[in-house]
Amino acid sequence: MVHEVKPFIDRRYRTSRRARDTLAMGSSMGGLISLYAMTQYPDVFGGAACLSSHWPLFLPSGEAPMPSADIDAVARAFEGYLRDRLPRRGTHRLWFDHGDRTLDRFYAPFQQRVDRVIESRGWVRGRDFESRFFPGAAHDERSWRGRLDQPLIFLLGQPAGGRTARTGHEGHRSRRA
C-alpha cells in the first residue's frame, strides 16, 4: 500500500498527498491491517476505519465463548502495541465498530480493552476516535455496507447541511467494561 499502491495512485490521479487526507479502511483482518497502516505509517495515513476488526486473530471453535486466558493474552498484545505505536492525540482519527452476530459476537471484550488504551493515551471519543456497537449486525458485507456511511462521515466530515445519512441500522457506542 505505502510503497506501490499509494505512489501509483498519486502519480496517476490528482490526489492530496497529505496524511490527513489519506485514510485506510477495511473489515475483519482488513480492519487490523488498516490500524497497522496508520500506526506504522502515521506520516502517510491520517486515519483508519476498522470495521469488525478480527481481534482474536484466529477462528474461535464452536459456539462457546473464547476462554478468558486466550482473550487476555491476545488483548494484552494489542494493548502493548497501541501504547507504543498510537500517534499523538489530535493528529489522527480512528473508527472501530462491530456487531454481535457470527464472528462479531467475539469482539466486544477485545474492543473494550482497545478503547481503554486509546483513551488512556488522551484520545477523545467522538473527536479523535469512535467505537460503535451495532446490535444485530453480522460479520459480513451486507452489515458493513449498511453502516459504511458512518465511518466515512466521521473520518471525512459531515455532509453538506450537517445531517448524517440514515442507514436504518444506527450504531451505539461500545459498552465499557
Query: Which residues are bridge partners to 94 per DSSP?
Result: 48, 129
Burial class of residue 28 in the structure, from the number of CB atoms within 10 Å of its CB (0-12 exposed, 13-18 middle, 19+ buried):
middle
Residue in the structure block whose three cell numbers are 477495511: 26
Residue at 32 is within a domain: yes
Q: How many domains does the chain have?
A: 1
Give the pairing type, strands 172-173 and 129-133. Answer: antiparallel
Could you tell me the residue range of the domain that residue 49 belongs to?
25-173
At residue 66, the 3 state secondary structure works out as coil
CA-wise closest residue to 108 among 100, 117, 118: 100
Q: Report how far residue 60's alpha carbon sits from residue 67's, in angstroms, rounded to the nearest whole number.
A: 10
Residue at 41 is within a domain: yes
Q: Which residues of the chain have pLDDT under 50?
A: 160-170, 172-177
Residue at 133 is within a domain: yes
Q: Report how far residue 77's alpha carbon sits from residue 41's, in angstroms, rounded to the nearest whole number.
A: 19
Residue at 1 is within a domain: no
Q: pLDDT at position 56, please?
A: 94
Residue at 19 is within a domain: no
Residue at 5 is within a domain: no
The CATH number assigned to the domain holding 69 equals: 3.40.50.1820
Q: pLDDT at position 60, please?
A: 73
Residue at 122 is within a domain: yes
Residue at 15 is within a domain: no
pTM exceeding the 0.85 threshold for the entire prediction: yes
Q: pLDDT at position 165, please?
A: 40
